Each structure stands twice: as structure tokens, then as C-alpha cells.
Structure 1
Amino acid sequence: MIDAAVSQAGAPPLVFETHQAGAQHYAETGEALPAAALEACRTSDAILFGAMGWPDIRFPDGTEIIPQLDLRMEFGLFAGVRPIRWFPGLPKVLSDPRAEGIDFVLVREQTEGLFYARGRGEVLNDQEAYDTMQITRAGTERVTEFAFQLAAQRKRRGKAGTVTCVDKANVFSSMAFFRKVFDEIAAKHPELQKDYAYVDALALNMVKKPWTLDVLVTENMFGDILSDLAAGLIGGMGMAPSADIGDTHGLFQPAHGTAPDIAGKGVANPGAMFLSGAMMLDWLAVKHADQRLADAAGLIEAAVEHSLSTKIAVPMEYGGSANCAEMTRSVIGALGAVRKEVA
């Protein structure tokens, strides 16, 4: 799919290298993220990541095998970018016609927050358990700056240009500090708007009026929870792409997991992977100053939308009959049609 879009856009071909990691690999070898795979990620231009978890396969401490968390920490992938956009062909989860205008981005800080406690938690005498949240000035500054830069890009495309700080500053000192640093960064962007929302209120408004949202920035755990809720607004995780962005590396993956109940049946919706690939091409276009890669990303997004909106293929996830292979063929086939429309 990505190769086909790159070719049609006249961009230089991409070279893919596959490495094994994850829960199944851990069960077979005792390694969740082999050194060779880690080094390949380090030296690559970008990382396209597949789902790697498996609920029944766990480390001795009871936690799941999650190599993407190791990669986030190793490469400082501080900004988790979760775009949520409804377009024709997706289920109308909300009855309000304004829900067709859902188009916002959740930016999740990914190197600290409550996830900082991973591997550091304590269980005392089988009676008490503690996990510590970490909020640093440096971490909050860079993710907030990223969110404002993203809002500026969206404003140039006609969006609101508003960044909402999602926190629980009324209860936790760490969250009050997060908001304080947010305000300091916001002051550097007077051309953009800032807003605030407590995470519980934001969850409510995300369901009641998601079309009013633009860019949201939040702590790691809050973002983890809200991103799944957000995906539900457009029909589910099958259309939820994501990017993990750092200063030098980028990792792109569908936000859904491995779905053991349908593993091996070939019925999964590949839409989130296609859209994650488009996000990767957009990021590479900036990194290498090559507009053709951005054009390829646009072709993928348009082909996915064309395939769904014309009902050429409707994923089983949305009550249709198209399996993974059929959806893939449909979207690849739509590339030519959307290219002619763009031309």
C-alpha cells in the first residue's frame, strides 16, 4: 500500500526491513526487543510498528510485553500524536449532524507522567502498592511546544488554532505544575488560543460536543485513556492511527492492539495501519524536505476515504463483509481514482 502510493506520487522508493519483537517473540526466545531490532530502529529513517502484545504472555512481574514503551524511552519519543477525524463512510456514532465535523488531535506526553512508574512500582508487604507520577519542566515544555506548533499548522488549514491543556490541576500538585508550564509556553504563541479542561470534564465534552475540539495536550496516562475514547467517536480502533515523535526518531503504528479473538482470521480492518503509514510519509516529507512524500501521504488518506465513502468495501468492523485482504485491494485500487481527482 505505501509502496504503491509512493510510486504514484513519484517519490523515491522506500526500503523496508522487518524485525521480530513482541509477546510471541518473547514466548519463543525470552527476548521482547532483541538488540538487533533495537539497533535497526536506531539507524532507520522511520519505524512502522505492528501490534505486538498478547494478554496471556507476561513478564514475571505480571506486566505485559510492550516493546513500544521501551522504544519511546530509548529514543525520547515524547509526543504521542493521535488524530481523530470522521469522514464519509465511517459509522455515525453520535446522532448530532455536527459530529461529521469531528477533526481533532490528542497530543500525549509519553516519556514521563504515570508511565514513569513502569518498572519502578513498589508493593509493600502485600498490603500497599505505589506508582509515582513524574512531571518535569523539560518534558512538559517540549510536548506543549509541540502541541502549539501543531495547532499553528492546523490553523493555516482553517482550523481553530486552539490548544487545550487537559489535566487534574484542581487536585494534584503535579498537574498544577503541568498547567503552569503550559501557560508559560502558551504566552510565546499569542497568535493561538489556549484553553483548559479537567480530564473528567473533557471526557464528558468529548462525547457531547467533540466537533468543538482542536488540539489537546495531556499527561501520559490521561492521554492513553482519552485516545481510546476518542477513537470510539469515529467507530472504533480500526480507524485510529498514531505517531510517536521525538527530536530525531519517529514511530508510527495503529493505535489498536493484537485482538487475539480474531487473530489469524484475516478479518481485521487495516485502515489504521494505512493511515499510520500516511503519517509516517508526512513526517518523512518534513525530515527530508521532499513534498512528493507528503503527496503520497495525501493519496493514502484520500484512497481510504474514497473506498469507505463509496461503499466499495466496508470493513467487517463496521458491519460490512470486506476482510483485511479485500480492504487492502480496495484502497490500493482507489489510489488511481483519487490521483486523477487531485490532478
Structure 2
Amino acid sequence: MPSPSNSVRIALLPGDGIGREVTEAATFVMEKLARRHAIGIATDSLEAGAFAYQATGTALSDETFDRAKSADAILLGAMGWPGIRYDDGTEIAPQLDLRFRLGLYAGVRPIRAIPGVPLPLSDPRAAKIDLVILRESTEGLFYARGRGTVTDDAEARDTMLITRATTERLSRFAFRLAERRAARMGRSQRVTLVDKANVFTSMAFMRKVFLEIAAEFPGVPADAHYVDAMALDLIRKPWDFDVLPTENMFGDILSDLGAGLVGGMGYAPSADIGDTHAVFQPSHGTGPDIAGKGIANPTAAILSAALMLDWLAMRGAGQGFADAATELESAVDAAFAKGLRSAEFGGVGTKGVAEAIAEQIK
């Protein structure tokens, strides 16, 4: 819990590739916000990721983990590198270790159209896209990470885990998020579970538990949607959806689809939240093809910082943090509405985007 002195400590994990570039951009904008709102933000930059593994043999050391855990929040860039892998062939992904070790079950993935950012859907309703994919981040098919088996070089098996305890927590988080969004947006918010309950026992169980929790929130509309149908409907009518809780792998896939609806991964922030800790990071990866060129879009990292400031405010850091979060999101909208274009749309690079957003903070 942040101290009552209106000051927090943020563990920075820039990671690899463009993760380092977008984290620097987000920090630049946050520093201006901190001065503007007279809030104290101290940062502790820590090394973790694929290149840390290459240099030391450890992707996330115990010392780094302990320092990150003791911070008020964690802001992460991106981690992993195609040519650096564990002996079993899997990529280095300490961000997954943080989710499991800190119990960060609620993967919040906002999908929101930003004014002025080109959208792939021609329907004018696309400008109103504003939904949240809520990815359960500690079990599901990702439970199999490090537990899969290969038998006689003939077959491989991975196991999906769905528990009542985690599904209950995720469902309550979804309904409370819907209530908070309804209060902010001035309209009702529907919670739609995304599953494959017609095929998998685990998914049918997840739906059963979800509907039990839905009964605790009679004022919030609730329903369920099969994941394949949701992939279709997120293209056909994404403006019809609000809060979408789902299993880990489904959320991983749908998050990228959702990012494509609003301009790409450079516009997709995220938060992984537990009962006592949270990690905030852009949804994109390390971008080996563009790393070091200064053209990575930092918007997702900057919006992730806004999510972090808002979460800190809810945890007791003070109204200044809530005001800073609101202003940061508004600054992003204002910059793009006035004509800012990121490099993927033929515009400016990482530094240019950060400076344009910072200019909107008076």
C-alpha cells in the first residue's frame, strides 16, 4: 500500500528490445505529470528478460523479484527475444513468472478507439469501440507452462486448469469493473464470459461458476459467448461489447485481435492485477525488427502508465494520482485528435509521440 505521503515507488522493468524504448518514453511523460499534480513517483530500474538471461543465466533473479515485489507497482516494457531461449526451446518470459508468483489473476486489456487514430473498420460505429478483455492470467492452458510432457517422441500433452477460487475472483472483478465503467461512462455495462463450454468440461465448469457469481450482481447484465463466435463478432460488431472475462489462452489471442481493431499493438495497454500487486505493460512484444530504430509506438506503454496511476489511486495513493491518470488519457486523445501520427501510420517515432503527448499536459 502506498504511503500517505503522496509518494510511491515504481519498479521499472524495461526488459528487451523496444520494451526499453517505450518504457523511457512513458517515464518521460510521467515525470511531467508528477510535477503537474505534485505527486511523488520514485523509480527503481531493474534488469530482467532475455538479455539478462544471456548475460547472467537468470531471466529474473531473486533480488530483482524481491525489489519488484516490494514496490508499490511494477511498470514493465516487454521481454523475450527470438534467438535467446531456454533449453526446451521456449522463449524467455519473466512477465509470466511475475503473474504466477504474484497471483495476478486479472489481466485487464482495454480496447478503445482513440480519436484520430486510423481504424481498419469502415463502419462509423468503430469510433465508439470501448471494451475490456479480462484475461485470467494464472491458470487455464498456461497452467501447462513447464508441465507439458512428450511421450516416446510420439505424442505431447498440455493440461488446462480451471479452479473455482480463481474463476470466482475473476468474475467478481469483471462485475465490479463493469459497475465502475458504468458510473464513469453513464451507461450500463454488460459482462460477457467468453468460453468453449459446448466442448470442454473445464469451460462448462467455468461458465457454471461465472453464472453463480453473476447472481450476486443483479444490476449488471450478464451472458456468455463461445470464443469462436466472439472472434467473428469482434470484427462484425465490436461496439456491442463491454467487459469480456475469459480463459488465459483465449484472452491472449483475443487481445491481439482487439488491438487490431483500434490501430495495432502500439495502442493496446494492459494491466495484470492481483489482490495485493499489479504489473502494467503494453500488450506488444519486444519488436526485434524495429528495435533500436526509434520508431516504436509508445502509446500503449503510456496508457499502461495511466492504468497504473489509476490503480495506485484506488489503493490509497491519493486523488492526485487519479487526476493524473485522467489527464494522461485525455492528453493521449488530444494529441492524436490534433493530428499526431505514429510511425506505423507514416508519422513520428517514439520520442516524437511522447513529446506530442507531453505537450498536452499543461
Alignment check: 8 A CA contact 1:77 1:244 kept: yes
Q: What does the per-residue CA deviation read over 1:136-185, in whole Å, with 9 as the maximum and x for residues that have no partner?
A: 00010000110000001111122332100100000000000000000000
- In the alignment, the residues of structure 1 paired with residue 314 and residue 269 of structure 2 have an alpha-carbon distance, to the nearest angstrom, of 19
Query: 1 or 2 for the larger relative contact order (CA 8 Å, sep ≥6)?
Result: 2
The secondary structure found in structure 2 opposite 1:288 is: helix
Residue number in structure 2 paired with 1:24: 51
Rate the CA distance shift 1:62–1:6 in 2: closer, same or farther, 3 A: same
Residue number in structure 2 paired with 1:83: 110
Offset at residue 273 of structure 1 (A): 0.6
Q: Which amino acid aligns with 2:97?
A: D
Matches within 5 A, 1:191-202: 191-202=219-230
- In the alignment, the residues of structure 2 paired with residue 156 and residue 265 of structure 1 have an alpha-carbon distance, to the nearest angstrom, of 42
Q: Which amino acid aligns with 1:87?
A: I
Match of 1:295 among 323, 326, 346: 323
Residue number in structure 2 paired with 1:276: 304
- In the alignment, the residues of structure 2 paired with residue 100 and residue 203 of structure 1 have an alpha-carbon distance, to the nearest angstrom, of 19
- In the alignment, the residues of structure 2 paired with residue 5 and residue 93 of structure 1 have an alpha-carbon distance, to the nearest angstrom, of 32
Question: Is 1:106 aligned to residue 157 of structure 2?
Answer: no
The secondary structure found in structure 1 opposite 2:325 is: helix
Question: Is 1:46 aligned to residue 90 of structure 2?
Answer: no
Offset at residue 326 of structure 1 (A): 1.1
Aligned positions, number = 333
The secondary structure found in structure 2 opposite 1:15 is: strand
Alignment check: 8 A CA contact 2:196 2:227 kept: yes
Offset at residue 289 of structure 1 (A): 4.9
Q: Which amino acid aligns with 2:301?
A: M
- In the alignment, the residues of structure 2 paired with residue 119 and residue 37 of structure 1 have an alpha-carbon distance, to the nearest angstrom, of 22
Residue number in structure 1 paired with 2:120: 93
Alignment check: 8 A CA contact 2:117 2:341 kept: no
Offset at residue 132 of structure 1 (A): 0.1
The secondary structure found in structure 1 opposite 2:281 is: strand
Offset at residue 55 of structure 1 (A): 1.3
- In the alignment, the residues of structure 2 paired with residue 213 and residue 32 of structure 1 have an alpha-carbon distance, to the nearest angstrom, of 38
**Long gaps (5+) in structure 1:** 337-343
**Long gaps (5+) in structure 2:** 1-28
- In the alignment, the residues of structure 2 paired with residue 319 and residue 125 of structure 1 have an alpha-carbon distance, to the nearest angstrom, of 51
Residue number in structure 2 paired with 1:68: 95
Residue number in structure 1 paired with 2:15: none
Residue number in structure 2 paired with 1:325: 351
The secondary structure found in structure 2 opposite 1:284 is: helix
Q: Which amino acid aligns with 2:187?
A: K
Q: TM-score, normalising length from structure 2?
A: 0.91
- In the alignment, the residues of structure 2 paired with residue 226 and residue 73 of structure 1 have an alpha-carbon distance, to the nearest angstrom, of 21
Residue number in structure 2 paired with 1:340: none
- In the alignment, the residues of structure 2 paired with residue 19 and residue 159 of structure 1 have an alpha-carbon distance, to the nearest angstrom, of 41
The secondary structure found in structure 1 opposite 2:181 is: helix
- In the alignment, the residues of structure 2 paired with residue 107 and residue 85 of structure 1 have an alpha-carbon distance, to the nearest angstrom, of 14
- In the alignment, the residues of structure 1 paired with residue 153 and residue 277 of structure 2 have an alpha-carbon distance, to the nearest angstrom, of 40
The secondary structure found in structure 1 opposite 2:166 is: helix
Offset at residue 52 of structure 1 (A): 1.3
Residue number in structure 2 paired with 1:256: 284
Offset at residue 87 of structure 1 (A): 2.2
Residue number in structure 2 paired with 1:341: none
Rate the CA distance shift 1:326–1:289 in 2: closer, same or farther, 3 A: closer
Alignment check: 8 A CA contact 1:82 1:240 kept: yes
Residue number in structure 2 paired with 1:209: 237
- In the alignment, the residues of structure 2 paired with residue 293 and residue 246 of structure 1 have an alpha-carbon distance, to the nearest angstrom, of 19
Residue number in structure 2 paired with 1:145: 172
Matches within 5 A, 1:113-124: 113-124=140-151
Alignment check: 8 A CA contact 1:33 1:67 kept: yes
| Identical amino acids, percent of aligned pairs | 57
Offset at residue 88 of structure 1 (A): 1.2
Provide the alpha-carbon RMSD of the alignment: 0.8
